[in-house]
Structure 1
Amino acid sequence: MNFFPTPYPDEILYSTLGRYCIRSGNIKEIHNFEDLFSTRNCIASVELPSKIDALIENMPVNSIYTAEYFIYNHTLFPFYAAFIEPQRAEKIIKSMRSGRGADAYIRLGLVSNSIDLNKYFRFCPQCFMEDIEIYGEPYWHRIHQITGVFVCPKHKAPIYNSQVLVRGGSRQRFITPSIDNCIVEKEIYYPNEYIEKMIWMAEDAQRLLNSRFDFKEQEWFKRQFRAKLIEKGYARMNNFVHQKKLAQDFIDFYGEDYLKLVQSPVQNKSQNWLSSMVRYNNRITFTLRYLLLARFLGIPLDTLFNERIGFKCEYDDIDSYQQLWEKRLVELSQLGLSIREIANILDSTPKTVRRAIDKLGIETFWKYNGGGKYVNKKYTDTNEFKVKRDHLRAEWIKLHNKYPNKSSNQIRQSHQALYRWLSKYDLEWLRQHSRRKANISSTVDWNKRDKELLSKVKEVVKELQQGKPQRITWSTIGSRLGVNGWLLKRKDKLPLTREYIESVKEGLQEFHIRKIKWAIDKLEKEDKEITYWNLVEVAGVKPRYLKFISKEIKDILIEKGYNCDFL
């Protein structure tokens, strides 16, 4: 290239490349890709562009730009990758610098995530006019393209969809904003209770784009959030979290409608994305949800990334440490643990724990077999033990009389606590008063069942072969028919069914090839371009599996008259 446009403040790289295409003088769009990347085998990606190393190599002599500069200052990488661990971030950067752009989206979970990315490029009308006045032309701003950002942080005003698709249409064109494709057909008015939250989100997103915080392991963020949850009374120091209370207060804070708008509703109050975030696991969710939780807990982003939240064990903070230690002691003493167990958790001694309990006047609920309650005699020698044993024996006999057709093992399944106590303290008696259920001989006519099942299996296979592909296996067929528990185990008694399923079941590569064929047909019907990225996204086949079936994919594409150079 003989020249390259100077990127504007907060301009997304896609927009800068679009301005190059306008000035290049090339008649055909594809020639712009050859200028920029030295290849035609490339697509115009918005959030996480690839082949950036090739772009740098083609820059004019003495160019000051680097791949790192573009990635951190003119793509959405700093936002989408803000909460991932350093090793994964490094791999994503390598994918963006090379030609494996699809890998970057997959590693960030943007392909399988429940979040739908923006369908259209977005713009702020006031920024649009200011850009023309200052620079002589408008451009696409990074902050406006982030999913979940609905207002411009600079003007505190709504942003609008343009008429330019982010995905779909031609993926080998860079389209810049203009008065023809950035039209405000109808003004947007958000409820007042939304505006404040939308401004928060826009400002926090902009902070992530511009601050270049250090990448952290997931454990860092889990501990940061956990410390605040404890401080605000949503969690205890023994890792217990009041999930329902947390979920309800979170919903009250943001409102159900706003959470739906940012694709983060909290529906089931005990099992949802929010409950997963505050548990100790390595799952990574969408960046926007980290920002939602941080705002709710009152954690500034600088603090979240740079300062360890929670108690610090300095000498001059000994009073705070004592209060925290005593608070945890109160919590643990209500869980039915022995003094020794509490001492181990608190990294203390039983003597210290007992003295603190007496000092604080804690009402304890000790286990019968510990905690210092029976210091001078065994628990099994006490009258309390004998009373409880007689009561539980009577309960065990009562259950057997109530369920005469059940074995002791079946009764045990729904009365685990009773069984555990008796097996621990009264095992010999328990053995003498247990029964087994007599085996009932099978009267199944397997020949008849085989014939009936075969017709049902054929119907299921026909359904699986239509619509979005599902792998045809014994397990899939059994699940559809509700017989997964015994179908495979009894296949030797079902010769007709077994022979048919074995003839139609799919190996992993066969299934992937069928998914690719389906994806090509779907892209054709939707009039979309057949590209590597589109095949991965629509078929749902991970790139690491495509290399094993690349020959078959090429044959399919050639047969349909498509170029297969991108494989």
Structure 2
Amino acid sequence: MIGFMPELYEDELLYSVLSRYYARSGHLIYRAASEELFQNPKVRPDVLLVNAYKKEVIDVLGASMETLVRKHTMFPAYAMFLPYQRRKDAFHSLVRRDGKHNNLLAIPVRKKSKYLRYCPVCAERDRQQYGETYWHRTGQIQGVKVCPQHRCYLQATEVLVSGKATPAFTPAEEAIPETQEVISCNNELELKLAQYIINVFQTDIDMENQVSVGEFLHMQMQRTEYLSLRGEQRNIGKLHQDFTRYYRDLQDNDFTELWQIQKVFTNDRYRLQDVCMLAMFLGVKPEKLVNRKLPESSQIEEFEQRIYQLHEQGMKYPEIAKMLGGSYDTVKCIGEGRYKKYKKDNIGKQNIQSKKKGSDWKKIDRETLPLVKTAISGIREDKSQNGKPGRVTEYAVTKALGLPSKRMCQLPLCRLEIQKYKEEYPRYWARKVVWAVQEVLKNGDELNWKRIRELTNLRKMNFQRCFPYLIYETEKEVAEKIKSTIEI
């Protein structure tokens, strides 16, 4: 029975307070403490995230599991910029402590061993204020090598952060020496970036925010030299050139390639330090980066509306093109409503073709939303193929509605609706597998790998990758049956 628990300090790792408990509990060996704290006493403590704790442990800590995950783990560092559904699934997994989070979070692969770090000045001040020091979360953020508050480099301890480390509770007070040389940092860029990343890390995440970081950062470049005049195309070469020049004095920088920057914009790269570097370069404030909002009107809409207005005022297309600095052919096509205008869809949907005198995109967005919802439902469960699941993407929806591939850029409500159902391939494969199993059982056939492969066309490797997501698509017992019945 747990009779006490040390009070949580600000920005303290959950592992840290449990280590302080262990030091004061009188237990002589790790196993004695683990039997009190964990549902499975043989488990290795997760230094940066959570374990399956006993209920009384959460009760005595005096905070909800939601608060502990947000404020006392490294969850923000690994989930801040994940796609909406994946971020929510990871958060709920950590709150439930079911062990599924490792397959959902964007935890960076480490090329060398990682150890818990600390700021020697912070440690000294902790001891003066509390009589002991503790493990700070901000000292463990990848990409942060300095303490911007005290303008010094972080120091590494011998406490290994690894699944291969010997299970142990090591309090910071025991691992951090009383006296330590303070190595000053005079690199202003490194200090500025560290402060920016920490500010982002400590900003509360709106778990319901569905705006992707790639789309948000693209919008932050509106009316700059990094976007085309119309605002649709990125001048990625110019951006990369200026970006690398801006960070040329940053030590050990591994975010320098053009393709890496492009992956942030396409929402295929989520690493905290990378997104923060790009956002800081573009002048985005940390709180706006975390709680992202799209502008009411895009540069595309404003550019096209300007053409319509000037033409209505009596200006000719050559004059408009010269005034706006655009191509005559493009300006004329937009003005006449012929620029990537809507095609009639082949299922009798209404035609929302652009009008010559301009389009009310907000109205079009609202009118198109029900069609998008219907298309999403049809893609996710294709009735023509006995409900076989499809993967929802912007391309799939626009194709189903017979719209141009880029049209969703002008329809934010429709785009947000698509984002709700956007899923990565392992999650999609899990839905296909569950559907296939239901089909096999419905037909009275024997459940085996061969039948699943015939219905899903999945390779063995992909089938194995979808296992962690089965629990989200069916009952736990069914998921276990699938994994135990099918021999690969």
**Scaled by the length of structure 2, what TM-score is found?**
0.61
Aligned amino acid, residue 240 of structure 1: Q
Matches within 5 A, 1:150-229: 150-167=145-162, 170-178=165-173, 181-182=176-177, 188=183, 190=185, 192=186, 195-215=187-207, 219-229=211-221
Deviates more, 1:289-298 or 1:172-181: 172-181
**Matched letter for residue 263 of structure 2:** S
Query: Match of 2:277?
Result: 292
Q: Which AA in structure 1 matches 2:271?
A: F
Q: Of 241, 248, 261, which aligns to 1:274?
A: 261
Q: For residue 122 of structure 1, give the secondary structure of its aligned residue in structure 2.
A: strand
User: 1:70-469 to 2 correspondence within 5 Å?
Assistant: 70-101=68-99, 103-110=100-107, 113=108, 119-167=114-162, 170-178=165-173, 181-182=176-177, 188=183, 190=185, 192=186, 195-215=187-207, 219-236=211-228, 237=230, 239-255=232-248, 258=250, 261-266=252-257, 269=258, 272-278=259-265, 281-306=266-291, 308=293, 310=295, 312=297, 322=306, 330-331=325-326, 333=328, 338=333, 339-342=336-339, 344=341, 349-350=355-356
Distance 2:165 2:29 in 1: 13
Aligned letter for 1:27?
A: L
Q: Counterpart of 1:207 in structure 2: which amino acid? A: N
Go from structure 1 to structure 2 and tell me whether the alpha carbon gap of 1:114 and 1:210 turns closer, same or farther (over 3 Å shift): closer
Task: Kindly indicate whether the alpha-carbon contact (under 8 Å) linking 1:343 and 1:349 is maintained by their aligned counterparts in 2.
Answer: no
What's the counterpart of residue 21 of structure 2? Answer: 20
CA distance in 2, matches of 1:4, 1:551: 44
The AA in structure 2 aligned to 1:276 is K
Task: Assess if the C-alpha contact under 8 Å between 1:160 and 1:184 holds in 2.
Answer: no
Are 1:37 and 2:35 an aligned pair? no
**Offset of 1:343 from its aligned partner?**
8.3
Q: Distance in 2 between matches of 1:305 and 1:125?
A: 29
Question: Which stretch of the first structure deviates more once superposed, 82-91 or 14-23?
Answer: 82-91
Instruction: Summarize the Cα distance change of 1:135–1:321 in structure 2 as closer, same or farther, 3 Å threshold.
Output: farther
Q: 1:508 aligns with which of 443, 457, 460?
A: 460
Unmatched tracts of structure 2, length 5 or more: 310-319, 343-351, 360-458, 471-478
Percent identity over paired residues: 25
In 2, Cα distance between the equivalents of 1:182 and 1:117?
24
Q: d(CA) in 1 for partners of 2:59 and 2:303?
A: 64
> What letter is aligned with 1:144?
G
Q: Give the whole-Å Cα distance in 2 for the aligned partners of 1:172 and 1:305.
A: 35
Cα distance in 1 for partners of 2:261, 2:86 equals 23
1:166–1:60 Cα change, 3 Å: same
Aligned to 1:288, the other structure's residue is in SS state helix
**Cα RMSD after superposing both structures:** 4.1
Offset at residue 234 of structure 1 (A) = 0.6
Q: Hey, what does 2:63 align to over in structure 1?
A: 65
Cα distance in 1, alignment partners of residues 191 and 114 from structure 2: 21
Larger radius of gyration: 1
Shift, 1:240, TM fit = 1.2
Aligned partners of 2:170, 2:485: CA distance in 1, in Å?
A: 34
Counterpart Cα distance in 2 of 1:213 and 1:324: 40
Q: Distance in 2 between matches of 1:18 and 1:552?
A: 42
- Listed as ranges, the gaps of 5+ residues in structure 1 are 354-506, 513-539, 554-567
Query: Aligned partners of 2:303 and 2:331: how far apart in 1?
Result: 27
Deviation at 1:38, TM superposition (A): 3.4
C-alpha distance in 1 between matches for 2:234 and 2:130: 52
Distance in 2 (alpha carbons) for counterparts of 1:352 and 1:96: 49
User: What is the match of residue 397 of structure 2?
Assistant: none
Q: CA deviation at 1:156?
A: 2.3
Aligned length: 352
**Distance in 2 between the 1:324 and 1:290 partners?**
37
With over 3 angstroms needed to count, the CA separation of the structure-2 counterparts of 1:60 and 1:234, relative to structure 1, is closer
Whether contact under 8 Å (1:163, 1:181) holds in the other structure is no
Q: Does structure 2 retain, via aligned residues, the 8 Å contact 1:37–1:55?
A: yes
Determine the structure 2 residue equivalent to 1:503.
Answer: none
Q: CA deviation at 1:99?
A: 4.1
TM-score (norm 1): 0.53
- The amino acid of 1:68's aligned partner reads E
Alignment deviations for residues 193-227 of structure 1 (CA, whole Å, 9 cap, x no partner): xx323223332333234321313666443332122
